[in-house]
A and B are shown apart, each in its own frame.
Chain A
Amino acid sequence: MNAKSNLYRKEKIYGFLFILPPLLGLLIFTLYPMIYSIYGSFTDWDGLGQMNVIGLSNFADLWSDELFHKALFNTLFMMLGIPIGITLALLLALGLNRGVPGTTAFRVIYYVPVISSLAAVSIMWNWAYNGDYGLVNQFLDLFGISGPNWMANKYTVKPALIIMAVWKGLGYTMLLYLAALQSVSRSYYEAAELDGANGFQSFRHITWPMVRPVTFFIIVTNIIGGSQIFTEMNIMTPTGGPEYASASVVFYIWQKAFGNFQMGYASAMAVFLGVFIFVVTLIQFRMNEKQSFDVD
């Protein structure tokens, strides 16, 4: 008995020791800075002088800051790419799931943009969106459409970024759906067919509910990722685009924090972003709980 409890005590010590590095990392590099961000958001922190607590005045300024509103609107607007990407990816996955020849090759090709460096891809699309010589407008030319100078036009710069984001992320979403589709048992479809269900009905009542957890996962991760969009605008529109039409929230935070040294103000935006992500994730989890059901 004594030997056993001794063994257990040793296990407690080693067990804790082995998880200590990531736990310390979490405390030092995530939790402590996060608490500091929250504190900083209530101060006039400028990175040099003393930090004075100024209450909610940063948040009050955010309320009336037009550039922040624009950045927030742009960030939300660009999330329109999420449903587009999900729809296309699901269609592709349904197609690939039927066992057409070349499935492996298609998977690899659609996945190449995902592994490509976002910086390189942004540079490439920036050139592809060139008004006179870009690939996109030359393609549109084939159909007699004369395309705009995408990145310099305040109405087209966001759609241009959405197209690029869908292109870049499609392979990833498709892969997740494909894995989910492959785990759906054939017997459901056979039973539905016997009951006289058509293709659409099978999709509506079997496929869609069965891939629901994956859809949920994709929406949550895409919203979290989409609300932090930065690299594209930093490379393609270094000034935030025509009339700030392509600046994102993180782009604005970055400008304020490391360009203007308004650390307190930037922290307030960062806190806002963190709360936004937290709330969205929470809502998503609640909705998923309510609507999910077991087929078994």
Chain B
Amino acid sequence: MTSRRRITHTIIFVLLSIGAVFMIGPLLWMLSTSFKDKQDVFALPPVWIPNPFHFDKYSEIWEAGPLLSGIRNSLIIAVTVTIVGTFTSSLAAFSFSKLRFPGKNKIFLLMLSSLMIPYPAVMIPQFFMFSKLGWIDTLLPLIVPGLFGNIVMIFFLRQYLSSVPNAIIEAAKIDGSSYFRLYSSITFPLIKPAVAAQLILWFMGIWNDYLSPIIYLNSPEKQTLQLVIANFNATYAIQTDYPLIMAASIIALLPMLIIFLVFQKQIIESVAISGVKG
């Protein structure tokens, strides 16, 4: 029995490893390409470990396109939205979960069902709203809507809050704490881990967003990092400068990869919960 078990385990391990190679292989190849000379990428058979390593593409990319301003713009958007939006979202989640007011459940249901509305169905009128305000080719259309909060985050924080006993809140209410203090000094500290995980997921979503930036941002120095690397791809593919393109793409990929590796436990846990509860 145990030897049969060991055999199945070995087979599963081997299959999972083969799968892992397919998952990580293309990304490693991308990394390897970024260290190659422009001509070396056309070597047949392909070379996985460049000889010698060329690091010059990683200095060239900063001159070859507005990569630095792309990083800056993406950071401005993602940081502003997640910080302010997390505050508004968690405050709303607290209210939905722990306060009593008429129409609460109907409003919550309305918010949840609005998740079914796809962004493409609202993007054209949104574009005209923002163009009337003169916000085209600025970061504002990508920042302002997020400041009002994120319904997905409200949903998960509300779920999480249901495990916080009402007695704590009720006791504080009777003690005469203000409602904002109920949120800020009692509730928020209790849900901090859930808030952090949701904030990271949202940050990643904004960082990797592509459709809304491409609608609003035209001038190269206004574009987010994702648009900048897409333009790298369009411009330098004609010159077949693949190492340059791959180096720029690695730069776009790296920050999220680092965040993921640092917080992988929290991220994986909160994603796993989302399926069970959603």
Contacts and interface: CB of A to CB of B under 8 A. Distances in A.
Chain A CB within 10 A, most for which of B45, B96, B233: B233
Given A95-B16, A108-B261, A119 B252 contact: yes
Given A37-B121, A123-B230, A124-B27, A234 B210 contact: yes
A22 B180 CA distance: 17
Contact of A179 (B19, B46, B173, B275): B275
Interface string A118-139: 1111011111100011010010
Interface string B228-268: 01101110010000100110011011001101110010011
A271 B95 CA distance: 33
B139 to A, nearest CB: 16
A18 B46 contact: no
A278 interface: yes
Contacts of A108: 260-261, 264, 268
Contacts of B264: 108, 111
B168 interface: no
Nearest to B99: A15
Q: Main SS of the interface on chain A?
A: helix
Nearest to A32: B125
Chain A CB within 10 A, most for which of B8, B13, B26, B145: B26
In this complex, the interface size class of chain B, counting residues with CB under 8 Å from chain A, is: 35 or more
B149 A107 contact: no
Q: Main SS of the interface on chain B?
A: helix
Contacts of A128: 26, 29
A18 B124 contact: no
Nearest to B42: A133
A102 B13 contact: yes
B128 A125 contact: no
Interface string A158-194: 0000000001001110011111100100000000000
Contact of B268 (A11, A23, A117, A175): A175
A107 B268 contact: yes
Interface string B191-220: 000000000000010011011001100000
A82 to B, nearest CB: 15
Interface of A: 7-8, 10-16, 18-19, 21-26, 28-34, 36-37, 40, 47, 92, 95-96, 98, 100-102, 106-113, 115-121, 123-128, 132-133, 135, 138, 167, 170-172, 175-180, 183, 214, 217-218, 224, 227-228, 230-231, 234-235, 238, 249-250, 253-254, 257-258, 263, 266-267, 270-271, 273-274, 277-278, 281
